[in-house]
Amino acid sequence: MGIFSLTLDSWGLKVPLLNHNGATMAAKKKTPKKTGIAKHLDKIIEGDCIDAMKALPDNSVDLVFADPPYNLQLGQADLTRPDNSRVDGVDDEWDKFESFKAYDAFTRGWLAEARRVLKPTGAIWVIGSYHNIFRVGTAVQDCGFWILNDVIWRKSNPMPNFRGTRLTNAHETLIWAAKDQKSKYTFNYRALKTANDDLQMRSDWEFPICTGAERIKDADGAKTHPTQKPEALLHRVLIGATNPGDVVLDPFFGSGTTGAAAKYLGRRYIGIERDKTYIAAAKKRIAAVKPLGDEALKTQPSPKAARRVPFGTVVENRLIKPGAKLYSPRGNHSAKVRADGSLFVKDGEDEIQGSIHKVGAAVQNAAACNGWTYWHYEAKTGRKPIDFLRDKIRKEMAG
Ligand SMILES: C[S@@+](CC[C@H](N)C(=O)[O-])C[C@H]1O[C@@H](n2cnc3c(N)ncnc32)[C@H](O)[C@@H]1O
């Protein structure tokens, strides 16, 4: 009987390589079996999201995007327009819970699993309306996530309040949270700033609700899914919070908006959904998506990745001359620039001097300040943050 040494191939399979004379044996060709998270990539798992997530390994996904049931508590009566036509709202079984207590238990169950499968660098986005987002937000914090922002999705074309008894409900809220307080989560700051015409991306986003050709309809022209989200919303989330190749898990996949945006943007997705009709619609939708090429997917590097340029370099290059004045955003503070790149402020008897950051913090009585965005210089077209000058130098250095 020959003695074989064993080695591990990249999928963890044991493959005989040498016989007892040391002669190379033809490695038995086997189709590598995907293990761990790899076998779920770009697939939709049918079933309950808590059970399905339990089958996923710890620390294996980069981002969770979750659009859970809203728990709308609409009651039995149909919602009608003034002309008595029925409003096509969310009255589906998947949105019904016995009580707030039952909803909270469900929320904590899926959040705990979502957090377990997230990599230490991972983050979660959860979207909801006033019906559920405050309960979800409490659970997000209680589960150990660290909230980074809440984002308001302002609907440019909201459904009116047909009865005229309340305000038009024109927004939904997204919570963005890191796995924990110390997580080094992904934030493509520069990419979002560039997308926003070089202005820092804010936390209020305006998009229309999903209508027109994007809205998936069945053969009778009825909406396939009552709460299909706009792909533009997912596009922004994925550009801002993931990199190409990252794995995005959506435990409430619905019509597959997350999968469609992920495939288009060169990210990997894992969907979980318990409704067969939605799964079929999502599969068809995603199959029709043509992914962007590598060149189109390159994003603007974040400042951390960008070359470090101290303020002294801006002064040395005479983009700001010593003696020039810098102003706070509202113009209520000013400081003079010195030849060594420090700032100087005379405030009555007091004199403050130091770096752009130190002086910025001191004039505001704040613990810290980003001097690059706080201090503005007098440009020909009006006042601009000195960050513009740093960008100019970075571009010149890049050649
Ligand atoms: C608000 S919708 C998500 C819509 C989706 N974002 C889209 O753009 O189409 C919630 C989805 O979660 C599914 N769902 C509800 N409870 C679930 C559970 N326990 N496990 C898996 N899916 C569930 C529902 O069938 C529904 O499609």
**Would you say the C-alpha torsion 36, 267, 254, 96 has a positive or negative sign?**
positive
* pLDDT means over runs of 10, the chain (399 residues): 34 37 49 83 98 97 97 66 65 87 97 98 97 97 98 94 92 97 95 93 96 93 95 98 97 98 98 97 97 87 75 94 96 95 89 95 94 95 94 82
Q: Which atom of ligand 1 is nearest to the CA of 94?
A: 15
Give the Cα separation of 244 and 265 in Å (integer).
Answer: 7
Residues in the ligand 1 pocket, defined by CB under 6 Å: 48-49, 67, 69, 94, 225, 227-229, 252, 254-255, 257, 272-275, 278
255 CA distance to ligand 1 middle (Å): 8
Q: Which two tokens stand for residue 322?
A: 């010593």
Q: pLDDT value at position 80?
A: 63
Q: pLDDT value at position 11?
A: 34
254 CA distance to ligand 1 middle (Å): 5
User: How many whole angstroms from its chain centre is CA 343?
Assistant: 37
Phi/psi for 203 (5° steps) reads -95, 10
User: How many whole angstroms from its chain centre is CA 319?
Assistant: 36
Q: Which atom of ligand 1 is nearest to the CA of 90?
A: 1
Q: What does 330-373 look like in DSSP terms, one character per residue?
A: TSS-EEEE-TTS-EEEEETTEEEEE-HHHHHHHHHT-S---HHH
Coil, strand or helix: which one is 41? coil
Residue 325 host element (H or E): strand 325-327
Residue for token pair 């995907």: 34
Residue for token pair 């700001």: 320
> Nearest to residue 248, comparing CAs of 258, 257, 256?
258
| CATH 3.30.70.1060 given to domain 39-297 | no
Bridge partner list, 223: 217
Determine the residue of 229, 273, 286 to mutate for testing ligand 1's pocket, defined as the one with the most ligand atoms within 8 A of the Cβ atom. 273
Q: Looking at ligand 1, which residue's alpha carbon is closest to its atom 18?
A: 48
Give the Cα separation of 94 and 69 in Å (integer).
Answer: 7
217 CA distance to ligand 1 middle (Å): 17
Q: Looking at ligand 1, which residue's alpha carbon is closest to its atom 22?
A: 273
Is residue 85 within 8 Å of residue 146, measured between CB atoms? no
For the chain, which residues make up each domain, given as ranges? 1-31, 39-297, 311-398
Within 8 A by CB and 6+ apart from 153, the residues are 127, 171, 172, 173, 174, 205, 206, 207, 233
Q: pLDDT value at position 182?
A: 93
With residues binned 3-state (H G I as helix, E B as strand, rest as coil), the percentages for the chain, rounded to 5, are 30, 25, 50
231 CA distance to ligand 1 middle (Å): 16
Is residue 258 within 8 Å of residue 233, measured between CB atoms? no
Cα separation values, 156 from 18, 107, 163, 354, 358, Å: 67, 29, 20, 46, 41
283-302 burial by CB neighbour count: b if 16+ within 10 A, else e? eebbeebeeeeeeebebbee
Coil, strand or helix: which one is 134? helix
> Nearest to residue 15, comparing CAs of 2, 32, 1?
32
Give the Cα separation of 338 and 359 in Å (integer).
Answer: 13
Q: What does 182-249 look like in DSSP terms, one character per residue?
A: T------HHHHHHHTTTS---SEEEE--S-GGGS-B-TTS-BSSTTPPPHHHHHHHHHHH--TT-EEE
